[in-house]
Amino acid sequence: MEFKHTSVLLEETIENLNIRPDGIYLDGTLGGGGHSYHIAEKLTAGGHLFGIDQDEEAIAAATERLTPFKDRVTIIRDNYENAVERLREIGINGADGIMLDLGVSSYQLDNAERGFSYKFDTPLDMRMDTRQQLTAREIVNTWSEMEIYHIIRDYGEDQFAKNIAKHIVMTRAQQPIETTGQLNEIIHAAIPARMREKGGHPSKRTFQAIRIACNRELDVLQNSLDGMIDFLNPGGRFCVITFHSLEDRIVKVNFKRNENPCTCPPEFPVCVCGNVSKGKVITRKPILPGAEELEENTRSKSAKLRVFEKAK
């Protein structure tokens, strides 16, 4: 299967990165190399792009796509939470621009074997990095009812989380839940018939929640933002595209805190905590896809781009 993924908010991201032809850039979520291609084509011999992804198939697709720029592109297989550490290991001590395009790619969703989607009946997997041991199957069959309830409630924001968790545990007591199809049926049975018609596919939220838990997506994001801002060169920009309200909240709060880190009580006449601003938030409100993009790519509808600029 060919690695296909439409890059979301492509022009807006490239524009906001303020690319310098001789700059150093990091794409922490390389995917098929869509955004990276447009960064690399703006670089001269003095510039360099580092692309990181944990998905083996994404690495293969991006390597091929970025062949025209291979002299100015380095691709590393890893999770973006280790990106800064990996770059420091090879002597890179700062970047002029960093971008993250979060969530799951169209290719991962559409590739039945990966077990990300409720549209196919395949073994439960959902690992973005197939070297990882934890799978969706393990979560569904071994985590406690309370743990499953919490991830569906918190990561899926599903009002029927309690009932879905209960049905999962009841079913696995009879036999292990092995496939996406089985999980789909369990979720279907746990949601009242009159509610199944509302808000898209009834399994969407639970599948999303299990995927986020399986890949530690929110923890990775939370753990990475400060280090990436610190890694930016003066005036460098950090662009983050989110697809989920929880991701967007993490980015929004982090950017705001890095812009204004003062912890002094509001009644203090002057700041005494000594925390210094690391830069400014460029996007007071997130940048959203335009009408044309929404028409061409329905998966872009929940995308939000936020931008932070390091102090000069």
Average pLDDT (169-177) is 98
Does any domain span residue 122?
no
Residue 2 counted as domain residue: no
Is residue 227 domain-shared with residue 209, that is, in the same domain? no
For residue 107, the model assigns a pLDDT of: 67
Same domain for 201 and 233: no
Residues 22 and 70 in one domain: yes
When comparing pLDDT for 160 and 118, which is higher?
A: 160
Residues 227 and 99 in one domain: yes
Is residue 210 domain-shared with residue 223, that is, in the same domain? no
What's the domain count of the chain? 2
**Structural domain contains residue 126:** no
Question: Tens digit of pLDDT for each residue in 209-260?
Answer: 999 999 999 999 999 999 999 999 999 999 999 999 999 999 999 999 999 9
For the residues 43-66, what does the mean pLDDT come to?
94
Q: What type of residue sits at position 219? A: D
For position 118, what pLDDT does the model report? Answer: 85
Is the pLDDT at 185 greater than 80? The verdict is yes
Does 186 score more than 70 pLDDT? yes
- Judged against a pLDDT cut of 70, whether residue 1 lies above it is answered with no
Residues 207 and 289 in one domain: no
pTM of structure? 0.92
- Cα separation of 76 and 55, whole Å? 10
Instruction: For residue 16, give the CATH number of its domain.
Output: 3.40.50.150
Q: Has residue 114 been placed in a domain? A: no
Mean pLDDT of 71-89: 97
Q: Are residues 288 and 251 in the same domain?
A: yes
Question: Can you give the pLDDT at residue 4?
Answer: 55
Q: Are 208 and 270 contained in the same domain?
A: no
Domain boundary among 175, 196, 214: 214
For residues 145-154, give the mean pLDDT.
98
Position 197 scores a pLDDT of: 67
Domain that holds residue 60: 10-107+219-310
In a domain, 195, yes or no: yes
- Where among 214, 229, 249 does a domain terminate? 214
Same domain assignment for residues 187 and 154 = yes
Q: Answer yes or no: do 202 and 241 share one domain.
A: no
Report if residue 113 sits inside a domain: no
For 254-298, what is each residue's pLDDT tens digit?
999 999 999 999 899 998 999 999 999 999 999 999 999 999 988
How sure is the predictor about 116, in pLDDT bands with cuts at 50, 70 and 90? confident
Please report the pLDDT score of residue 119 as a whole number: 84
CATH of the domain at 203: 1.10.150.170
Please report whether residue 241 resides in a domain. Answer: yes
Same-domain pairing of 143 and 86: no
**What confidence tier does 76 reach under pLDDT thresholds 50, 70, 90?**
very high
Question: Does residue 125 belong to any structural domain of this protein?
Answer: no
Q: What is the pLDDT of residue 235?
A: 98
14 and 102, same structural domain? yes
The last residue of one of the domains, among 146, 181, 214, is 214
CB 221 within 8 A of CB 246: no
Q: Strand 304-310 vs strand 232-242: parallel, antiparallel, or unpaired? A: antiparallel
| Residues of the chain above pLDDT 70, percent | 95
Closest CA to 203 of 295, 270, 120, 288: 120
Among candidate residues 103, 191, 208, the one with its CA nearest the CA of residue 151: 208
Which one is predicted more confidently, 31 or 171?
A: 171
Taking only the tens place, the pLDDT of each residue in 21-49 is 999 999 999 998 999 999 999 999 899 99
